[in-house]
């Protein structure tokens, strides 16, 4: 349980998931699919719909020059008018989660229900609400599921990651003459690997 005053403090009223809330929720006894969804969302900044739409073909794994596993999520963002490409370099925990899902899933989708179809967002919203009921039992307080993505942005800003890199990872970059391709994304990945254990 996260410590609160009888009044909800201003930090908790914000529309993003704090690192403290993220760490508390990930330790709860909730379904693995939800906890994996939470980890991928908070670590990559992907929209919920894009996580639910992830297929095996969207995750590219390889070995780096030192023989270590690396990976990226590739695809097209669903909620962008310009069909913004997704190209997110994975941190170690996201890599581990997605590698496990690639190896152990029978569906094309990486987040799928019993019938092999992609989960609906409502499934994850239900557990996100349950998590907030446990975090703040004395206060009727819930954040929107999109707070996970916003939490990624706030976390990266806290560790001085360049805004262009954050926007690229969150598919917010406007493509055209000002478009910058960010292949490395090392500032984001380093902050995530170091501070989100």
Per-residue pLDDT of the chain (197 residues; tens, 9 = 90+): 555 444 444 554 569 999 999 999 999 999 999 999 999 999 999 999 999 999 999 999 998 888 889 999 998 888 766 677 889 999 999 999 999 999 998 899 999 999 989 999 999 999 999 999 999 999 887 899 999 999 999 999 999 999 888 988 888 755 544 445 666 899 999 999 999 98
pLDDT (0 to 100) of residue 155? 97
pTM of the complete model: 0.87
Domain boundaries, the chain: 10-190
**Domain 10-190 sits in CATH 1.10.443.10:** yes
**CA–CA separation, 40 and 86 (whole Å):** 14
Cite the DSSP H helix spans in the chain: 10-13, 19-26, 32-44, 48-52, 92-104, 121-135, 147-158, 163-169, 186-195
CB neighbour burial string for 131-158, b if at least 16 within 10 angstroms, e if fewer: bbeebbeeeeebbebbbbbbbbbbbbee
Answer for the pair 186, 169: CB distance below 8 angstroms, yes or no.
no
């Amino acid at each position: 349980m996260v410590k609160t005053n009888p009044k909800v403090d201003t930090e908790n009223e914000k529309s993003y998931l704090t690192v403290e809330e993220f760490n508390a929720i990930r330790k709860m006894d909730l379904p693995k699919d939800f906890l994996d969804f939470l980890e991928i969302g908070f670590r990559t900044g992907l929209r919920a719909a894009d996580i639910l739409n992830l297929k095996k073909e969207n995750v590219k794994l390889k070995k780096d020059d030192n023989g270590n596993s690396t990976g990226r999520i590739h695809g097209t963002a669903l909620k962008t008018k310009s069909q913004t490409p997704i190209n997110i370099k994975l941190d170690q925990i996201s890599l581990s989660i997605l590698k496990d899902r690639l190896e152990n899933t029978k569906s094309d989708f990486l987040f799928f229900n019993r019938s092999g179809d992609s989960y609906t967002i409502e499934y994850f919203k239900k557990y996100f609400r349950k998590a907030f009921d446990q975090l703040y039992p004395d206060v009727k307080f819930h954040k929107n599921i999109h707070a996970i993505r916003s939490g990624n942005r706030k976390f990266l800003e806290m560790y001085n990651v360049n805004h262009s890199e954050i926007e690229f990872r969150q598919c917010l970059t406007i493509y055209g003459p000002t478009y910058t391709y960010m292949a490395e994304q090392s500032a984001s990945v380093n902050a995530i690997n170091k501070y989100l254990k």
